[in-house]
Structure 1
Amino acid sequence: MAYDEFLATVQDLGGYDREDAARVTEAVVSTLGDRLPADTAEHLAEQLPPQVAELIERANSTTQDWGAQEFVVRVAEITGDDEDSAEGHSRAVLTAVARQVSGGELNTLLSRLPSAYAALFGHPELS
């Protein structure tokens, strides 16, 4: 999937225009990159469009250990939106990520995060 297709998926899922889809994608994916261990981030980045992969790869090199609610709070801080909007942003972008990666990679990713993240990826349980 090319970057334009990825953004189109985010647009469809979140009801955004292209500019907002790019803005929330950057916020959510960079926050995800901060949250993931380096090896998990690297494997995930390999399956994403280069522009999205770059957001993960340039994230903080120290893994953070926050739950899903703190993830949403951090997205809200970056976007300047309220937490309900940030949760919607997170769901739209992370569901687009989940659609992009293989089932095995998604299972690995979700197994490295607290269970509440699965719903943000559009998967209430492992696939």
Structure 2
Amino acid sequence: MTLHAETTTASSTTAPAPAATDGSVTSYTGLLERVRYEGAYPTRERADQAVRSVLAALGRQLVGDERVQLAARLPFEAALTLTAQIPAVTPLGGWEFVKDIARSTGGSLATTRWDVGAVLVPVAHLAGPDLTDRIIRQLPSGYALLFGRPELLPARGAGPGERERGDR
């Protein structure tokens, strides 16, 4: 893997590496800082706990090219957490995904939902829009919102080839 020059330069020697928005790999510290900001966590350690629990759970849901390509765009430590998991035989829907993480961490559903969004939104930035779309299409319903995207549902009564309301 090669890093783009613009992702390796920093304006200050003490500033963490920014999370990449072009699909290139950022540092794990940069990912943690982005998650810490998104989740308003008081410490980097708290952000690390969220990253590890959410990526481990996501690793049990993703398979195929999307799993491999996402791992390639994540920092090494995050990629290891994702790929160390054996994919589940039956994938979980979005809400079941949150409940599964809450059960394994002992967190409340509200806190766990917050953690999931705080991690998956920066992961979506690292993945880029095309890969994020493919990941969401691979997973059962309910994941788009977790990745910070609207959950678009087909209009009722609109079949293949029919125009939906407002599509004129």
TM-score by length of 1: 0.92
8 Å CA contact retained: 2:61, 2:91 = yes
What is the CA–CA distance in structure 2 between the aligned matches of 1:76 and 1:3, rounded to whole Å?
24
Q: Unaligned regions of 5+ residues in structure 2, if any? A: 1-25, 153-168
State the Cα distance separating 1:7 from its structure 2 match. Answer: 0.3
8 Å CA contact retained: 2:55, 2:82 = yes
8 Å CA contact retained: 1:7, 1:21 = yes
Q: Unaligned regions of 5+ residues in structure 1, if any? A: none
User: When the two structures are aligned, how many residues end up with a matched partner?
Assistant: 126
8 Å CA contact retained: 1:37, 1:63 = no
Q: Pick closer, same or farther for the CA change 1:79–1:62 going to 2, 3 Å.
A: closer
Structure 1 segments of 4+ aligned residues over 3 angstroms from their partners = 61-64
Q: Does 1:121 align with 2:147?
A: yes
TM-score by length of 2: 0.71
1:80 counterpart residue number? 106
More helix by share: 1
Larger Rg: 2
> What is the CA deviation profile of residues 50-84 of structure 1, one whole-angstrom value per residue up to 9, with x for unaligned ones?
11000111011444411011100111122211011
The alignment yields a C-alpha RMSD, in angstroms, of 1.5
Identity across aligned pairs (percent)? Answer: 33
What is the CA–CA distance in structure 2 between the aligned matches of 1:106 and 1:44, rounded to whole Å?
9
- Matched ranges for 1:18-97 at <5 A: 18-97=44-123
